[in-house]
Structure 1
Amino acid sequence: MTVRRVLCLLPLLLVAVVAAQHRSVLADGFRHLATAQWPWLLAAAGATCLTWVAAACTRQGAVVERLPGVRLLATQFAAGAANHLLPTGLGASAVNLRFMTVCGLPLARSSAALALYLLAESVARVALLGVLLLVFPDALRLGALLPEGVLGSVLVIGAVVLVVAAGVLGLVRRVRSAVVSFLRTALGEARSVHARPARAVALWGGSLAFPALQATGLVLVGRALGLQVPAAHVAVAYLAATVAVALVPTPGGIGSVEAALVVALVAAGGPAAVATAVVLAYRIVTVWLPMLPGALTLGALVRLKVI
Structure 2
Amino acid sequence: MTPEQILPPAQRRQIHWHIALTLAVLAAVAWLARRHWPVLETGAARLAVADQGWLLAAAAATVATWPCSAFAQQGAVLGRLPPGRLLAAQFAASAANHVLPVGLGAGVVNLRFLTRCGIPFAGAAAAIAVKGTAGAVARGALIAVLVAACPGVLSVPTVDAGHLVALCLTVLAVLALLAAPAAARCRRALTLLRAHLGAIHARPARTAALWGGSLAFATLHCVALGAVTRAVGLPLPPAQVALLHLVAGAAAALLPTPGGLGSLDAALALALAAAGAPAVEAASAVLGYRLLTVWLPLVPGLVVLGVLVRRGAL
TM range (shorter): 0.7 to 0.9
Retained in 2: the 8 A contact 1:140–1:268? no
CA-to-aligned-CA distance 1:3-44 (integer Å, 9 cap, x gap): xxxxxxxxxxxxxxx9xx99989x957644311111111110
CA-to-aligned-CA distance 1:237-274 (integer Å, 9 cap, x gap): 10110111111111110000011001111222211221
Retained in 1: the 8 A contact 2:139–2:218? yes
Unaligned runs of 5+ in 1: 1-17, 144-150, 171-175
Identity of aligned residues (%): 49
Letter in 1 for 2:134: A
Q: Using a 3 Å threshold, how does the CA distance of structure 1 residues 93 and 266 change in structure 2: closer, same or farther?
A: same
Q: Using a 3 Å threshold, how does the CA distance of structure 1 residues 59 and 142 change in structure 2: closer, same or farther?
A: farther
Unaligned runs of 5+ in 2: 1-22, 35-39, 158-163
Task: Quote the residue 2:97 is aligned against.
Answer: 83
1:164 counterpart = 2:171: no
Alignment of structure 1 residues 202-213 onto 2, 5 Å: 202-213=209-220
In 2, Cα distance between the equivalents of 1:142 and 1:206?
Answer: 31
1:114 counterpart = 2:128: yes
TM-score (norm 2): 0.81
1:133 counterpart = 2:140: no
Letter in 1 for 2:52: W
1:192 counterpart = 2:195: no
Q: Offset at 1:155?
A: 6.1
1:247 counterpart = 2:257: no
Alignment of structure 1 residues 266-305 onto 2, 5 Å: 266-305=273-312
TM-score (norm 1): 0.83
Q: In the alignment, which of 266, 270, 284 is matched to residue 263 of structure 1? A: 270
In 2, Cα distance between the equivalents of 1:152 and 1:291?
Answer: 45
In 2, Cα distance between the equivalents of 1:153 and 1:73?
Answer: 47
CA-to-aligned-CA distance 1:78-136 (integer Å, 9 cap, x gap): 00000010000000000000000000000001111111111110011011101110121
Q: Using a 3 Å threshold, how does the CA distance of structure 1 residues 210 and 290 change in structure 2: closer, same or farther?
A: same
Q: Using a 3 Å threshold, how does the CA distance of structure 1 residues 301 and 198 change in structure 2: closer, same or farther?
A: same
Aligned residue pairs total 275
Letter in 1 for 2:83: G
Letter in 2 for 1:304: R
Retained in 1: the 8 A contact 2:134–2:214? yes
- What is the RMSD of the two structures over their aligned residues, measured on CA atoms? 2.5
Q: In the alignment, which of 222, 227, 230 is matched to residue 215 of structure 1? A: 222
